[in-house]
Structure 1
Amino acid sequence: MFRDITAFQKVYETRSITRAAKELYVTQPTVSIQIKKLEKELGVQLFKRNGNKQLVPTENANRFYRDSQLVLNSWENSLNHLVKKHKSNRIKCVIGASPTTASHVLPPLMQSLKRYLDYFDFQLVTGDSEKILEEIIKREIDFGIIEKPIVTHEIEQISFATDEMVLAGDSDNPEWIVGKPGSTQREYTDKYFNEHHLRPTKIIKVNDNDLIIKLISRNIGKAIISKRSITNSLLPYQQLTNDFCNEFYLINPKLPNSNEIQKLIQLVKTLLPQLRF
């Protein structure tokens, strides 16, 4: 309910579902569903569209906006009271992420989780997918967001997004940039080499995705890389076959370290498919 009210307030303030979704780091359909859900629960229409397709609040929306501010303020005051009372019981939560998911998934996820900073001490760590898995098994990390499927009876995993790999850079460039062994970038690069029977002689080995992009932007080499990584750049790229589509996974121990961590993981499972990244 509180998330629906927050969505309503953003739409009311911005007069736009698109802008509200962007500020909340969720998808437009998610906000639309939240508004429709509120309207159904309240039994009233909250917004109309004018000739310019701009959302116009109804009188019911104006009244509910004022009331909802009081409700959320009261809720925040209650939370603050509980936090002060139980300040010594803060819970440590370590979240691991592989390089690509750390860049694209963690920022919007933490935007959604920041309201829980009064209860949890979050620690974010990065590493390749195998390293994150290893640390979860050792109970050093509570849950992880990685780019490779895993097979082990100790871990639960769910896929929540697809990541398209592309060939970025000038296709006529003879130089290739490859990631470190074990990385997703290196795995798909080797796959491309094998499928096209390539044995490049000019290779630059790089262990950082951001550096790969900077090199390509200076016309130094080409690379197989996540399309998400170059979305906001002007780098040329070629689409590849469906075999070069990668999945993002949430992984966690089947038996989390505490009930609080288990509840947080369940929350993250509902948040991840809704995130805009």
Structure 2
Amino acid sequence: MFHWLQTFMTVYEEKNFTHAAEKRYISQPTVSLHIQKLEEITGSELFIRKGRNHAMPTESADLLYIRAKQLDSLWETSLSDLQQLQGNTRITYTIGASQTIGVYMLPLILPQLQKQFPNYDFVISIANSTIIFKRVETHEYQVGLVESPMIAPTITRTIFAHDSLVLAGDMTSDLWLLREDGSGIRTYTDQFFQQENIIPAQKMEIASNEAILNMLAQGIGKTLLSDLSVRDLSYYNPPTPIVRPLFQIHHHAFPQDPLQIALHQLLLTTFS
């Protein structure tokens, strides 16, 4: 059944039976058979077929995908634990961080974290808050650090610090430089626009803080951003101060491990 679930996860991600077969190195009829078996066991339709190969996930598929990813992560953790018993003590540990935290805060504590956990190989993934929530929910990331106030039923949040948002750039410009939907800063920017009754005459969406900062350095546009990232740019406080909490998150079905506890303590000590 585990092979069926792996096939299902690939179809879910690819939305295509042919692409899933190629990625799994199995035939397309085998892919269809695996999905059929899962649908029989669950009593649910998992995909709505469109054309010969395209597959749109159903609500049942959405739920099963989350559970399957959790099982897959648990299996990988079990393999790692078994390898440790056999003398292989290296542990791969993934931390997801949104851009402001990942670029301006996390590097300041990673050396200390590595010293405390010398047998860990860290993988640091920088993404927006929505992506991090989803990957912590499926346990692809063991822990996440996010700027968004969003919540999820399976996620436990703990505040470790606060930052302030400021206005930077050419305040006479009509062009607003915006982060993409799903990012923490975009959530607060949209709230700021509503509060101040601002309808941008021009806007440009850029999925990178660094790219936005480079635009501002050239004198192009204006934006709302964290005071942690303004560098030597001129900035102004918004009419109403915007102070946002920064969160460490983990899946509540997986108890906090020693590294998560140490990470939270380092964040509190360094930034509170």
Per the alignment, residue 214 of structure 2 pairs with 214
Q: 1:268 aligns to what? A: 263
Amino acid at match of 1:180: E
CA drift of 1:87 comes to 5.2
Q: Secondary structure at the match of 2:135?
A: helix
Give the Cα–Cα distance (whole angstroms) in 1 for the partners of residues 101 and 176 of structure 2: 23
Corresponding position of 1:252? 250
Q: Residue 274 of structure 1 aligns to which amino acid in structure 2?
A: T
Q: CA deviation at 1:135?
A: 0.7
Q: CA RMSD in A?
A: 2.3
Distance (whole Å) between structure 2 residues aligned to residue 273 and residue 242 of structure 1? 26
Give the drift of 1:127.
Answer: 1.2
Q: Summarize the Cα distance change of 1:182–1:220 in structure 2 as closer, same or farther, 3 Å threshold.
A: same
Secondary structure of 2:200's aligned partner: coil
Contact map agreement 2:149 2:184 (CA 8 A) in 1: no
CA shift, 1:192, in A, is 2.4
Compared with structure 1, are the counterparts of its residues 254 and 241 closer, same or farther at alpha carbon in structure 2 (3 Å cutoff)?
farther
Q: Which moved more, 1:171-180 or 1:138-147?
A: 171-180
Q: Please, which moves more after superposition, 187-196 or 158-167? A: 187-196
Q: Report deviation, 1:162.
A: 0.8
**1:147-183 deviations in Å (ceiling 9; x for gaps):** 0234334222111111100110121122211111122
Q: How much has 1:254 moved relative to structure 2?
A: 2.3
Q: Could you tell me how far 1:189 is from its partner in structure 2?
A: 2.2
- CA-to-aligned-CA distance 1:39-67 (integer Å, 9 cap, x gap): xxxxxxxxxxxxxxxxxxxxxxxxxxxxx
Q: What is the CA distance between 1:145 and its match in structure 2?
A: 0.5
Question: For the residues of structure 1 that align with 2:199 and 2:155, how far apart are their CA atoms?
Answer: 37
On the 8 A contact 1:108/1:276 being kept in 2, the answer is no
Residue 116 of structure 1: how far off its partner (Å): 4.0
Q: What is the TM-score with the length of structure 2 in the denominator?
A: 0.64
Alpha-carbon separation, structure 1, partners of 2:85 and 2:151: 42
For 1:193 and 1:214, locate their aligned partners in 2 and report how far apart those are by CA, in whole Å: 23
- Structure 2: state its 5+ residue gaps: 1-83
2:235 to 214, 226, 237: 237
Q: Which amino acid aligns with 1:110?
A: L
Matched, 1:128 2:128: yes
Q: Give, as a single letter, the amino acid of the residue that structure 2 aligns with 1:213.
A: L
Q: CA offset at residue 276 of structure 1? A: 5.0
Query: 1:198 maps to what in 2?
Result: 198
CA gap 1:159/1:183 in 2 versus in 1, 3 angstroms: same
Measure the CA separation in 2 of the matches of 1:262 and 1:105.
21
What's the offset of the Cα at 1:187? 1.9
Residue 206 of structure 1 deviates from its aligned partner by 1.1
- 2:133 and 2:208 mapped to 1: Cα distance? 20
